[in-house]
């Protein structure tokens, strides 16, 4: 892992088993991100926790949860608050896709330890929750064959789909990545005194215009307007197909990167059998 804007690949480090079993929770927003992270830790089972999709697996005797929060900071706040009250965790990870605010390629991995919510015209108040387990994960991202760029994140309360707005945010904040949920998750992790880390894969770029205002689809009555926009601008379908391909690339690299680091952290070989912890 590097603090520079150019990702680097570093030599692989040998697996290091955890001397004491730990519990890890990874939060994602969407069904596609849920599938990508779940694929990194096969052998578990999916159920519901307070109405939210949850995936549970045991890796080398350690427990890993994946929780689908839904899109946006309000849902992320609520999900993290509920989950972190269930049991003690050694690390909270915010994962899924992100917009790169620095020169990057689709599928590059962005690592963040600090994140700030965006406030119009206001100062950036960065959140961080350090700890031994987070330090171990950061070291593993530095010592395994994972292309990762480290830097600060910012979180918006809506989807930023205009390239001009992305560029303005990049210039104002000098952040590495942009998402919607990490600041909310960091806030709840800090309240629960659990170390916090961001691990996300690039699905769109700073100079890239998204094909639609996806915020329309997040509102209960917005679907009609969203579909109407597609009918008025049928060229948006080409952009949607491009974004679908980019999301598939981002999902694949996220799965592979998380699998590599999880295996290394818990001393599990790539072909080792994993079992579900009840």
Q: Which domains does the chain have, with CATH numbers?
A: 23-210+251-265 (3.40.50.1580)
Whole-angstrom distance, CA of residue 237 vs CA of residue 204: 16
pTM of the model: 0.85
Q: What share of the chain has pLDDT > 70, as a percent?
A: 77
Predicted local confidence at residue 242, as pLDDT: 78
Predicted local confidence at residue 223, as pLDDT: 44
Q: Where are the alpha helices (DSSP H) in 53-178?
A: 73-84, 132-142, 163-173
Predicted local confidence at residue 102, as pLDDT: 96
Instruction: Tell me 153's DSSP state.
Output: E
Whole-angstrom distance, CA of residue 99 vs CA of residue 247: 11
Using 50 as the pLDDT threshold, list the residues of the chain that sit under it: 4-18, 222-224, 226-227, 273-278
């Amino acid at each position: 892992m590097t603090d520079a804007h150019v990702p680097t690949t570093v030599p692989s480090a040998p697996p290091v088993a955890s001397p004491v079993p730990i519990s890890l929770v990874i939060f994602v927003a969407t069904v596609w991100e849920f599938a990508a992270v779940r694929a990194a830790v096969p052998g578990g089972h999916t159920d519901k926790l307070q109405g939210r999709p949850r995936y549970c697996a045991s890796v080398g005797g350690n427990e890993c949860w994946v929780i689908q929060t839904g899109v946006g900071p309000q849902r992320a706040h609520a999900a993290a608050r509920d989950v972190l009250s269930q049991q003690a965790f050694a690390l909270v990870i915010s994962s899924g896709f992100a917009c790169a605010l620095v020169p990057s390629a689709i599928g590059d991995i962005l690592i963040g330890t600090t994140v700030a919510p965006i406030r119009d015209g206001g100062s950036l108040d960065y959140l961080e929750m350090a700890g031994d387990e987070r330090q171990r994960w950061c070291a593993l991202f530095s010592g395994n064959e994972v292309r990762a760029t480290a830097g600060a994140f910012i979180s918006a309360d809506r989807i930023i789909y205009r390239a001009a707005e992305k560029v303005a945010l990049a210039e104002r904040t000098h952040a590495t990545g942009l998402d919607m949920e990490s600041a909310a998750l960091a806030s709840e992790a800090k309240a629960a005194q659990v170390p916090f880390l961001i691990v996300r894969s690039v699905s769109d770029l700073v100079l890239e215009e998204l094909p639609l205002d996806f915020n329309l689809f997040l509102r209960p009555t917005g679907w009609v307007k969203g579909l109407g926009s597609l009918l008025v601008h049928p060229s948006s379908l080409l952009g949607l197909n491009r974004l679908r391909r980019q999301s598939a690339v981002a999902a694949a690299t996220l799965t592979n990167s998380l699998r590599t680091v999880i295996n290394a952290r818990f001393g599990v070989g790539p072909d080792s059998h994993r079992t579900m912890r009840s």
